[in-house]
Amino acid sequence: MIADLKTDSAPANAHPTVWGLTPTELHDRFWAARGVQVVRVGEPSEIVEDAELFLLMAPRLLANFALGPLVEELSWLKPDALWVRIQDQRESGYHERAVTDEAGRFVAFERDYGGADSRLGRVVLTPNSEIARIWQSASDAIAGWRELRRRVTRRRRTAMAITGKTYDRDSPDEVMDFVRQLVTVWKRPDATVERAVYHQAGTWADPDAGLTDRVRFVGPVWVGAGRLLEPDASVVGPAVLWDDPEQRPTTDRVRWNELEPHQALETPLRQPLSSSMNRLTKRAFDIAFALAALLMVLPLFPLIMLAIWLEDGRPFFFAHMRETLGGREFPCLKFRSMRNDAEQIKAQLAAVNQVDGPQFFMENDPRVTKVGRFLRKTHLDELPQLLNVLVGQMSVVGPRPSPHAENQYCPAWREARLSIRPGITGLWQVMRTRREGEDFQEWIRYDLEYVENASMTLDMKIIIKTVMIILFPNK
């Protein structure tokens, strides 16, 4: 007999358990095995000082993502808090579900033919127990985010985007999907669940489960207390055989002080060589490129400054406050290409803005001087940004540097793009089409694509394409 006992076969009880733990408690034990205590708004629990990190999340959220890159970021920058944007892009294939009425009678089949299901989740990682208490004591998630931003200054926080899985705790279907995935990825549940006893490859069972050597398990399976399986039965995983409700056991608390450091974190609290080398390589390239470029273009500086002065006087440079890594502000330098009163008359031109996002663009902007129009066409106005690159405020390649006001339009996008330094050029600059009404969407799309796929190979491709656009603008 082949029994495919999936998590969908869980009891109708709103809170089924395995080893005495509900799906939410399993989620929290999974993170505890990595030395991370989950802290939710409005859910009182003891803040454990022995935890390595605290994972602050909204009450409805369950999440699974790689901890290593985030620990790496925390140990490298040493912020008080790391805002994490979790991007979940899942492909859902065809499946069907039986719909029943309140009496449990069959009504119909509900069919889903799949497609892309894109969602975003937001959490915070912090080593600071006081920040965890601030989050826990908030009245709701919105108030919690607001209070964290008020109490943790921009200089003491950073942000990062990562791919992962997010689930809605209030949706039974999503909770079951989460448990099924957890069975697959959590190889050692005994790290924080004492009742999880190794049975055979991929199978963990409660001591009170009725198993014999003749039961065949295929794939990862978790077996709860009081579950009796017939001899010669086969169970196909990933699957959870929930506790018998009449024999639901009690489970001991996590012994945080006994967790070994190597068990607690997927990556130790130091910068791994590979990632460290990637960062150092990119920074070394930025410095070398900026120095070489400045040596070539410095003779142009006095000529450009003279042209600006003859048409519209001083100043020669324009410094606009933009945000860099972690949301820190810096003066982004350019040769001045607009009239001195450009900012004052910008509000009068808002009605003729030709893009759909927070940035402003006009094909024939009356604020731009004749010299400025030439500088922009030849991209010479951006040469001073090589100085920003030298001091570490910018990179040669990265997302477009934007001011604080623009970055507030889409929080998830903001946190992703501010996880790395902005660039003089970037994927958006070389790929944009400026289709009417879609400019802002393209900006978000290409910024996120760059953040998720950043590499020196991609940087070199962008640099080459930028050079080609400058040299052959009409092709």
Beta bridge mates, 88: 119
Transcribe 395-420 into DSSP letters: EEESSPPB-HHHHTT-HHHHHHHTTS
User: Which three-class secondary structure state does DSSP give residue 384?
Assistant: coil
C-alpha separations of 123 from 40, 73, 217 in Å: 10, 15, 36
- Give kind and range of the element (H or E) at residue 450: helix 439-453
* Helices and strands counted in the chain (H then E): 16, 19
Residue 366 CB contacts under 8 Å (≥ 6 apart), including other chains? 345, 349
pLDDT digits (tens, 9 = 90+) for 184-209: 889 889 889 999 988 877 789 999 88
Annotated domain spans of the chain: 1-16+193-249, 22-171, 273-471
As a whole number of Å, the end-to-end CA separation of the chain is 67
* pLDDT tens-place string over residues 120-176: 689 999 999 999 999 999 999 999 999 999 999 988 999 999 888 899 998 888 898
Neighbours of 28 (CB within 10 A): 22
Q: What residue type is 87 in one-letter code?
A: Q
Structural tokens at position 269: 């609290």
**If we measure between CA atoms, which residue out of 78, 21, 51, 23 comes closest to residue 264?**
51
Question: Can you tell me the distance from the alpha carbon of 440 to that of 164, in angstroms, rounded to the nearest whole number?
Answer: 25
pTM of the model: 0.52
The DSSP call for residue 322 is E
d(CA 178, CA 199): 23
The C-alpha atoms of residue 52 and residue 54 are separated, in whole angstroms, by 7
The b-or-e profile of 392-428 (16+ CB within 10 A means b, else e) is ebbbbbbbbbbeeebbeebebbbbbbbbbbbbbbbbb
Partners of 100 in the β-ladder:
106
CA distances to 42, 81, 110, 146, 193 from 161, rounded to whole Å, are 26, 14, 35, 20, 30
> How far, in Å, CA of 277 to CA of 68, rounded?
16
Tens of pLDDT, residue by residue, the chain (475 residues): 333 344 444 444 457 999 999 999 999 999 998 889 999 998 888 898 888 899 999 999 999 998 888 887 887 778 999 999 998 765 444 344 555 666 655 555 454 434 444 456 899 999 999 999 999 999 999 999 999 999 999 889 999 998 888 999 988 888 988 998 899 889 889 889 999 988 877 789 999 888 777 777 777 889 999 888 877 777 777 789 999 988 899 888 888 766 654 333 333 333 333 456 778 899 999 999 999 999 999 999 999 999 999 988 889 999 989 999 878 899 999 999 888 776 666 655 554 544 444 555 556 677 888 998 899 888 899 999 999 999 999 999 999 898 887 776 655 567 677 888 999 999 988 887 765 445 666 777 788 778 877 889 899 999 999 998 888 876 6
Neighbour count for residue 20 (Cβ, 10 Å): 19
